[in-house]
Structure 1
Amino acid sequence: MIMIAQKEQKNQLPKEIQLAFKELKVLQHLRNAGFKKRFGFSCSYLFQIIFVLIFHH
């Protein structure tokens, strides 16, 4: 049986996206807008994944 290695959440996103989000302070704007979660994945991680999925057909 082949096991799939789990990666750290941030390492799964393209570096270009990480740099753009950092430069544009997108995650800071999410916090300022009041996006919050009680448990599970962070809002910033979910937003980044959804953003990347838009460009993956």
Structure 2
Amino acid sequence: MIEIWMEDKKTGLQCGINGDGELFIGDDFSGGNAPDTPENREMIVRDFYRAIGRAVPRRS
């Protein structure tokens, strides 16, 4: 089962956890995977926002 954390409707970019338990980021044409670690989760979220041209929201 895929768990999608974020999706940008304009670009089609998504990120989350795939059925193998790995983190993913990509669209219908390309993407990448990484092991599920706290550091990689931060990297995937950062890369998602960078790819859609928005700043990562600050934590309160």
TM-score of the superposed pair, with normalisation by structure 2:
0.34
Which has more strand, going by share of residues?
A: 2
Greater relative CO (CA pairs within 8 A, separation 6+): 1
Larger radius of gyration: 1
In terms of fraction of residues, the more helix-rich structure is 1
TM-score by length of 1: 0.35
